[in-house]
Amino acid sequence: MTIGTEQGWSDAWRALGVALPPTDLLQSLTLAWREPQRHYHTLQHLEECLMWFDGQKAAADRPAEVALALWFHDAVYDVHAHDNEARSADWARDEMHAAGVADEAVDRMHALIMATRHDALPQGADAQLLIDIDLAILGAAPQRFDEYEQQVRAEYAHVPDAIFWPRRRALLQRFVQRDALYATPGMHALLEAPARANLARSIDRIA
């Protein structure tokens, strides 16, 4: 992690009233994001998310909570499991309670992390920003988007092509069918058009 990223980690905890952020937790999270089964959900993804947050945090009501939710949102990642978001959210809740963060803030961050299940449209400025950031990869430059597609396939290498590609195409089509991919004005302006172009190209390629 970069010095700037670690500074952002410390600043977010202090904004929540924790004078001495848990440095051992930072190490544990960094190790989790480096687990060998990960190909997309890695430190690269986390750092890209934090970069977007730095540029768009003015859209947040409670930026420190969004920042820490980003750190935890894929902290648990098992490609064979269906409860990664819940386990990540629970890890965050336990650590924040232990550090003395106020219950209301802990509950909000737990809900933010659970929103990354992408099973419903996010409600509220913070959830909208968090989800826009998590989906920023869809609007990446074509070369980075293609790398992301390869990374996702590598994470699901155990799934046969005959199963993986139809499911992947259906997922991408669900994104295309949304009225808007990005809810925050800043990210919508920057990413909506390139994301739709990337999705269309990927769907055509799969077909």
3-class secondary structure per residue, 67-101: HHHHHHCCCCCCCCCCCHHHHHHHHHHHHHHHHCC
Structural domain containing residue 168: 3-206
- Whether the CA torsion 74, 200, 163, 148 is positive or negative: it is negative
Per-residue pLDDT at 2 = 57
- Secondary structure (3-state) at 15: helix
- The CATH number that applies at residue 144 is 1.10.3210
Q: What pLDDT score was predicted for residue 68?
A: 97
> What pLDDT does 23 receive?
80
- Residue 117 and residue 64: Cα distance in Å, rounded? 21
* Beta-carbon-side half-sphere exposure of residue 196 (alpha carbons within 13 Å): 12
Say if CB 74 and CB 87 are below 8 A apart: no
Number of domains forming the structure of the chain: 1
Could you state, in chain order, the average pLDDT of each consecutive group of 10 residues for the chain (207 residues)?
Answer: 73 93 90 97 96 96 98 96 96 96 98 93 95 98 98 97 97 95 97 98 94
Quote the pLDDT of residue 4.
Answer: 54
Query: In angstroms, how far is CA 132 from the centroid of its own chain?
Result: 9
Q: What is the pLDDT at residue 133?
A: 98
